[in-house]
Amino acid sequence: MPNRKVVSFENLKVACKNCSLATLCLPVALEPDDVERLDSIVKRGRPFHRGDHLFREGDDFHSLRVITSGSVKTYSPSEDGSEQVLGFHLPGELIGLDAIQNERHSCSARALETTAVCEIPFDSLEELSSAMPSLQHQMYCLLSREIGQETEMLTLLGKKSAEERLATFLLSFSERFKKRGFSATDFFLSMSRHEIGNYLGLAVETVSRLFTRFQEEGLLKVERKHVQLLDLPRLNDIIHGIDSVRTSNQSRA
Amino acid sequence: MPNRKVVSFENLKVACKNCSLATLCLPVALEPDDVERLDSIVKRGRPFHRGDHLFREGDDFHSLRVITSGSVKTYSPSEDGSEQVLGFHLPGELIGLDAIQNERHSCSARALETTAVCEIPFDSLEELSSAMPSLQHQMYCLLSREIGQETEMLTLLGKKSAEERLATFLLSFSERFKKRGFSATDFFLSMSRHEIGNYLGLAVETVSRLFTRFQEEGLLKVERKHVQLLDLPRLNDIIHGIDSVRTSNQSRA
DNA sequence: CGTTTGTTTGAGCAACATCAATAATTGTGG
DNA sequence: CCACAATTATTGATGTTGCTCAAACAAACG
């Protein structure tokens, strides 16, 4: 098809200033000039396929990475072949922050689906942030937020029931999709039940049973990866330990 | 006693350059001149007593704090009065990093015993780190390390057995005391069993029973807060999931 | 189209929580 | 310094959540 415009990734001059993720990503709170300077150090490679590693535990650390499309899981592999899933990352989210300290990745990251990322060489970013107080501030904020999110996760794993964990998980994705302009109630989860369970500190079977139960209770509709949240308020109640099942048992018939 | 030298905290001109914690704290990797400049923004207040709050969730964030002596627990209070203990902090450790993002503390911190801290106004630190690349780098490293430590904690809470959790907890303190020049095998834990359990996602009773069992198995000697680790190798085995109990059951008589 | 991988469901079980009682320790006021 | 109250720790008995094991089923893949 000769008259169809060829769009190669090389030609696609995506720039931070045009990027729809700008409000979620590093450019937040930067002046246009500063965005331009940030843009100049960003590298955009070709996309990863499902299952590809963005990096592996032990790899030398050179760059932070921002997901621009698709999704990624980070995990920490154990000697015995098992792993701990550390997080699922959506467009606009920065990964690799844990690797700054010892210049080596302390976890692995793989694409859950076809995924594009921006690469930000950390050396350059450090230099730039030294010259650009607002960028430095943004970096401190991002790192701090990451810490805050992980402490929430500690509470989840330390104190919450299986039910509360899954509800928290689902509403977290709901909010994150919403922020990115997608539906807050109808989405596809790109990870397997196994990975969800691993992340939440639960067995696969428990996750599966909970999905079934939530569906029976009219909280959601689920078919494999496709999830539709039908009752956000009650899901919210569950997160906060309010046992809405007993309070309003709606099991049909 | 008129001829006894009066040592007030006002007069105690402790400086970073003389501080025994310098190798653990922010001054790591700074030139003497730079340490001097850092020193100039650090505030040293009077000590906190056991139970005093250094700050509370919701407080405005102004300063990071470094423990200089004593110990501190950070925790996230829930609506219902319960709490999640997020960490126990020893001299040289920096707290408040999670508050940078929204300029408000997202957790509370209280002294577990008489505790002294250095206060580092964050605005000044930001300015200084902008002018001092090595300090900026150090900050990035510290924040990154915090993230890394929390991901380890996620694995602990997500995957490990009660036994593994307590062993990990004990060896973590062992190493941290050692780094500070104290015994790695003989120390006092300043927190209660309840707080340990809370931190590790276990019930108080489970913690108590485990201490008893570890003692029966000759792994340690414990008398209230006083702990003596008798078999570091086996404790290490436990952490890595090797059931040393069955392998070398040493129950006396 | 068979093979592999992921999901669901059931049955039984184990680890750890909860409840309850006692004991030890610490703090407090006289 | 002692007596009493309050807190903290230990220990035992019982209960429950969620794990493990097992099997059937569905979907994805070459």
User: Where do the domains of chain A lie?
Assistant: 9-157, 161-252
Strand C-contacting residues in B 217-246, CB cut-off 7 angstroms: 223-224
Contacts of B113 (CB under 8 A, 6+ apart): B50, B70, B71, B190
Q: What is the mean pLDDT of residues B33-44?
A: 89
B181: burial class by Cβ within 10 Å (0-12, 13-18, 19+)?
A: exposed
Is A194 near strand C, with its CB below 7 A from some atom of it?
yes
The separation, in Å, between residue B224 CA and nucleotide C24 C1' comes to 10
A203: burial class by Cβ within 10 Å (0-12, 13-18, 19+)?
A: middle
Cα–Cα distance for residue pair B185/B173, rounded to 1 Å: 9
Q: Which bases of strand C sit closer than 7 A to a protein CB? A: 6-11, 15-20, 25-26
pLDDT of residue A74: 97
Q: How confident is the model at residue A144 (pLDDT cuts 50, 70, 90)?
A: very high
Distance set, CA B165 to CA A2, B200, B206 (Å): 64, 6, 11
Q: Using CB atoms, pick whichever of B99, B150, B158 lies closest to residue A84.
A: B158
Whole-number average pLDDT of chain B: 89
Secondary-structure class of domain A9-157 per CATH? mainly beta
Q: What is the mean pLDDT of residues B176-192?
A: 94
Contacts of A122 (CB under 8 A, 6+ apart): A61, A62, A63, A64, A100
The separation, in Å, between residue A206 CA and nucleotide D21 C1' comes to 14
CB–CB of B143 and A147 under 8 A? yes
pTM: 0.89
Cα–Cα distance for residue pair A123/B53, rounded to 1 Å: 39
Instruction: Among A34-38, A173-177, B55-59, B173-177, name the one with the lowest average pLDDT.
Output: A34-38
SS3 content of chain A, % helix, strand, coil (to 5): 40, 20, 40
Q: Using CB atoms, pick whichever of B86, B139, B147 lies closest to residue A154.
A: B86
CB–CB of A98 and B148 under 8 A? yes
Cα–Cα distance for residue pair A118/B131, rounded to 1 Å: 28
Q: Does A8 have pLDDT greater than 50?
A: no
> For the segment A160-179, what is each residue's pLDDT rounded down to a tens digit?
999 999 999 999 999 999 99
Cα–Cα distance for residue pair A140/B61, rounded to 1 Å: 14
CATH, domain range A161-252: 1.10.10.10
B228 contacts B177 by C-beta, under 8 angstroms: no
Tokens 């002018």 correspond to: B131
